[in-house]
Amino acid sequence: MSTEGAELVIEGLSKTYPGGVRALRGVDLRIPPGMFGLLGPNGAGKSTLMRTIATLQDPDAGSIRLGELDVLRDKDAVRRVLGYLPQDFGVYPHLDALSLLDHFAVLKGITARGERRAVVEALLHRVNLWDKRKQKLGGFSGGMRQRFGIAQALLGDPRLIIVDEPTAGLDPQERSRFLNLLSEIGEHVVVLLSTHIVEDVADLCLQMAIIARGQVLRSGEPQRAVDELRGRTWKKVIAKDQLDEHEREHTVISTRLVGGRTVIHVFAEDAPGSAFEPVDPDLEDVYFTTLAKAA
* Amino acid 63: pLDDT: 97
The tens place of each residue's pLDDT in the chain, 295 residues long, gives 556 668 999 999 999 999 889 999 999 999 999 999 999 998 899 999 999 999 999 999 999 999 999 999 999 999 989 999 887 777 788 999 999 999 999 988 898 999 999 999 999 998 889 999 999 999 998 888 889 989 999 998 899 999 988 887 788 888 888 888 888 887 778 999 998 889 889 888 999 999 999 999 999 999 999 999 999 999 999 988 888 999 899 999 988 888 888 999 999 999 898 889 999 999 999 999 999 888 7
Q: Where are the domains of the chain?
A: 8-221, 231-279
Question: What is the reported pLDDT for 218?
Answer: 95
C-alpha to C-alpha distances, 170 to 138, 164, 288, nearest whole angstrom: 16, 14, 23
Nearest one of 29, 19, 32, 35 to 62, comparing CA atoms: 29
Tell me the C-alpha to C-alpha distance, in Å, between residue 166 and each of 28, 47, 183, 208, 272.
24, 12, 13, 16, 38
Sheet holding 233-238, edge to edge: 251-258, 261-267, 233-238, 277-278
Pick among 3.40.50.300, 3.30.428.10, 1.10.4190.10, 3.40.50.920: CATH of 8-221: 3.40.50.300
Q: What is the H or E stretch that residue 24 is in?
A: strand 22-31
pTM: 0.88
User: 129 with 151: CB under 8 angstroms?
Assistant: yes
Distance, CA of 24 to CA of 16 (rounded, Å): 7
Distance CA 124, CA 147 (A): 9
